[in-house]
Structure 1
Amino acid sequence: MTGPLAVPRVRLATLPTPLHPAPRLSEAAGVEIWLKRDDLTGLGLGGNKVRGLEYLLGDALARGCDHLVTGGGPGSNWAMLAALAARLHGLRATLVCYGDEVPAVGNMALARTAGAGVRFTGDADRASVDRVVEEVADALRTAGAHPFALGRGGATPVGALGYATAAVELAGQLAAAELGPASFWLATGSCGTQGGLHAGVAWQRLGRVVGVTVSRPAAECVERVSALARGVADLLGVPDTAGPPTVVDGHLGPGYGRRSEEGDAAAALVACTEGVFLDPVFAAKAMAGLLAAARRGEVVGPVVFLVSGGAPTLFTTL
């Protein structure tokens, strides 16, 4: 199966995911909020990374690759889902995690259940993953394998196509709900999801995208999102009309991969009002950013909030 401009694609997700109103949350926030339930994408325990993996794995298979190599933190949703998608289509998978070896719990346990090999860098620097991914891929090539190496989060223009095409899905859902232009709020980490959605929302003329950074400085996110959006527009064969991206800072809390008090409070509000759980590392912090902006009177509805999944981290993140 192919996507835009015949970019190879495999079906991994159950689509479309629901878009539904959140009336009690909206009342509490003082602004109309709708939830885009990409925690329900279907592969494994779901999550936003499944959309990009449809294109990335399609690319790997088209190239004749037999081994996926990628990585992240020991609790990475991306790494687990990438390994699961690879195994589903007959590729071996090796995951590279920064730091020293940790017990196999949460996403790490699920990745090992899927048959992924795991290597730890011994270096607490997250960037060490990218170096060792290349080392592993080089060793596999020397051994006669055909690896497909991906950086953290799969944040490439091909991977970002997943959320450019999600914008087409959203356009139909917004029209069906008789909603006009909206703002789209999400957590921004490796920037692939925001890059794709930023390009797709501009392409479909749906409104504006607001990312809440949960990983890196906002200025760096702006550069990465802009570059990814340009790459996506090129792949789609459409003009790059997205303009500068919006990235909100100030909601990282104690650090990447750590819970924050305001994130936990935001997640508790969503659970109590709408019966939806937000992961503590990404979506909870993004919701905290949205609620803070709403309290300051800076948000006009309707707002579409991306529930990005990450269920395993609910039980393992401190």
Structure 2
Amino acid sequence: MRPLFARYPSLTDVLPCAEFADLPTPVAALGNDGRGWIKRDDLTHPVYGGNKIRKLEFIIGEWRQQQVREVITFGATGTNAGLATALACQQEGIPCRVLLFDQPVSATVRANLQAMQQLGARLDYCGSLFQTALRYYLHPLRLQRGRYFLFAGCANPAATFAYVNAAFELKAQIDDGVLPEPVEIVVPVGSSSTLAGLTLGCRLAGLKTAVIGVRVAPSHLGLIPACTPATVFSQIRTAHAFLNRHIHGGLSFPAPRPILLDDYYGPGYGESTPEALSAIGLFAEQHGIKLEQTYSGKAAACFIDRMRNSAGPVLFWNTFNSRPAGNLPTAAVRYPLSPPLARLLDA
């Protein structure tokens, strides 16, 4: 049983969970002085890890409950969420369609694009982020029953509870003496449900730890807020209200406010920074842990700064997959890539 349900048994009837992930993920010290720690969510699944796999536990639960016949999501050309969703759909026997927008090309982007095709996802190239979001919201399949539209980053109300559960998992590891209670947790923030869940979950679990979100995605899409303290707080508030309705006696505290830093974003989505590249190199050389420039590298740069200036232990929550791509299954049917995506692989 996941620790969230052990703490609140009444939620088992209202929060379907597929137990898709390999949990709990391990925690390890970074160095010998006890100041730096890492939560290995890169190992959430034996085939493909990362934070999206945690979220998909609760999302797959909804698919089964709603008898979903196709999943439609969107993301950048190298989307980790799209890859994780394609894996989940492949294992559930559900067709997967991913709408894709441009991002700077890297080895990770190419590998993820190939992996999504290998898993049998249908990949629709849409161009810009704005065009992709518009196509997602106005998609004609929304009028058909059995279609499940999953927001970018596997972010929806169900996904928030995956990281509420993760906070209880961490609390159990602290209680078991695996690590001291961190002063801070540092985590990258794109679609916001990881930060929302950890912020609310730490408060529920009785941890005094501050959760520090590092923004790695655009704050706005035009005039529309996309990754801001307000958008994160909206997710927290939604989950808080749900718990108030379904936990006996409700909650004794108001919805907590998130902490979201803009300092490490750099020139744009998917574009690296000198600090991120330095952090990626340090993690690889000193700890044998692979990070990337879009999400985890920027959060790692923040973690290094916070650890150097903190009076107590700081935990880096690694959300990036570390499993080799060769472990992924191959679908019986693979859709051909459109010319723009094929050129990306050949570049």
Classify the TM-score, shorter chain. Answer: 0.7 to 0.9
Among 261, 276, 280, the residue aligned to 1:267: 280
Tell me: CA distance 1:22–1:99, structure 2 relative to 1, closer, same or farther (3 Å). closer
Are residues 1:171 and 2:171 paired?
A: yes
The C-alpha deviation readout for 1:81-140, integer Å capped at 9, x for no partner, is: 01110121111100001249x999311111111111111113x2x24333222444x337
Tell me which residue corresponds to 2:200: 199
Are residues 1:12 and 2:20 paired?
A: yes
Among 78, 81, 85, the residue aligned to 2:81: 78
Among 277, 281, 285, the residue aligned to 2:298: 285
The C-alpha deviation readout for 1:28-85, integer Å capped at 9, x for no partner, is: xxx7111000000115321011111111121122111110000100100001101110
Tell me which residue corresponds to 1:228: 235
- 2:236·2:256 contact (CA, 8 Å) conserved in 1? no
Once the two structures are TM-superposed, the CA of residue 181 in structure 1 deviates from its matched residue by 5.0
Among 190, 211, 214, the residue aligned to 1:212: 214
Once the two structures are TM-superposed, the CA of residue 225 in structure 1 deviates from its matched residue by 1.4
Residues 223-232 or 72-81, more deviating: 223-232
SS in 1 for 2:283: helix
Whole-Å separation in 1 of the counterparts to 2:307 and 2:190: 22
Are residues 1:109 and 2:120 paired?
A: no
Tell me: CA distance 1:275–1:184, structure 2 relative to 1, closer, same or farther (3 Å). same
What TM-score results when the alignment is normalised by the length of structure 2?
0.79
SS in 1 for 2:148: strand
Tell me which residue corresponds to 1:146: 146
SS in 1 for 2:263: coil
AA partner of residue 202 (structure 1): R
- 1:258·1:280 contact (CA, 8 Å) conserved in 2? yes
- 2:187·2:213 contact (CA, 8 Å) conserved in 1? yes
Whole-Å separation in 2 of the counterparts to 1:46 and 1:61: 22
Whole-Å separation in 2 of the counterparts to 1:74 and 1:311: 19
Are residues 1:249 and 2:256 paired?
A: no
- 1:196·1:229 contact (CA, 8 Å) conserved in 2? yes
Tell me which residue corresponds to 2:314: 303
Tell me: CA distance 1:20–1:271, structure 2 relative to 1, closer, same or farther (3 Å). same
Among 9, 34, 38, the residue aligned to 1:35: 38
Once the two structures are TM-superposed, the CA of residue 245 in structure 1 deviates from its matched residue by 1.1
Tell me which residue corresponds to 2:157: 157
Tell me: CA distance 1:92–1:241, structure 2 relative to 1, closer, same or farther (3 Å). same
Across the aligned residues of Structure 1 and Structure 2, the Cα RMSD in angstroms comes to: 2.9
Q: Which of the pair has the greater relative contact order for Cα pairs under 8 Å at 6+ separation?
A: 2
Whole-Å separation in 1 of the counterparts to 2:59 and 2:201: 18
Residues 302-311 or 230-239, more deviating: 230-239
Once the two structures are TM-superposed, the CA of residue 141 in structure 1 deviates from its matched residue by 4.2
Tell me which residue corresponds to 2:55: 52
AA partner of residue 124 (structure 2): R
- 2:44·2:51 contact (CA, 8 Å) conserved in 1? yes
Whole-Å separation in 1 of the counterparts to 2:231 and 2:174: 28
AA partner of residue 314 (structure 2): V
Tell me: CA distance 1:292–1:179, structure 2 relative to 1, closer, same or farther (3 Å). closer
Residues 36-45 or 215-224, more deviating: 215-224
Whole-Å separation in 1 of the counterparts to 2:148 and 2:314: 37
Tell me: CA distance 1:313–1:17, structure 2 relative to 1, closer, same or farther (3 Å). closer
Among 21, 46, 49, the residue aligned to 2:29: 21
- 2:46·2:323 contact (CA, 8 Å) conserved in 1? no
SS in 1 for 2:72: strand
The percent of aligned pairs where both chains have the same amino acid is 27
Whole-Å separation in 1 of the counterparts to 2:172 and 2:281: 30
